[in-house]
Each structure stands twice: as structure tokens, then as C-alpha cells.
Amino acid sequence: MQILYVLTKEINLSYTDFNNMNFFEILTILQTYEEHMKEQRKQEKKENERMEKQMSSMQSKYNFNDMHKQMNNMQSNYNNMTLPNYNIPKI
């Protein structure tokens, strides 16, 4: 039953096609499908590792505490800034 489920769901093989196939054909298809899934898992694992590495790199590069310090520095620079004094004549 599991073989039928995999073939019908994952490979989109109809029940009548499944019944018309030789046992050897079914085993060959399942073996190919299994190899494909193993390769897919390896690729997903590589991609996940790459994404984790990229995320950790971004987290270290854009650390929230450092950003908070930078914002505080900007605010103190803003507070220390003086506005120009304009002498406007009275009319």
C-alpha cells in the first residue's frame, strides 16, 4: 500500500497504470525516486547550512546593541548641534 501511495501521490501515477506495470518496473521507479529524494535532502541540507552561515554573519555584522549605540551617538550629535543665529531687521 505504501508503494502505491508514493507512486500515485509523488510521481502522479494512476492506479490503473500501477496495476498494468511489471513488478520490476515498479521497483526501478521506486529506486530512482529514492535516489532523487536523497539527493534532494543533501541539497536542502547544503542550502540550510549556507543560510545559517549567512544569517549568523548578518547578525554579527548588524548587531542590535551596536545599532543602539550608533543611534545614541547620532542623537547626542543632534543635541549638540546649534542652530544659526539670523539677524532679521525689524520693520
pLDDT digits (tens, 9 = 90+) for 46-57: 999 999 999 888
**In this predicted structure, what is the pLDDT of residue 83?**
65
- Residues in contact with 18: Cβ distance below 8 Å, sequence separation at least 6, in sequence order: 4, 7, 8, 26
**Mean pLDDT across the chain:** 80
Q: Which three cell numbers stand for residue 74?
A: 547620532
Q: What is residue 88's three-state secondary structure?
A: coil
CA 13 to chain centre: 31
Q: Which residue matches cell numbers 539677524?
A: 87
Alpha-carbon distance of 37 to 17, in angstroms, equals 22
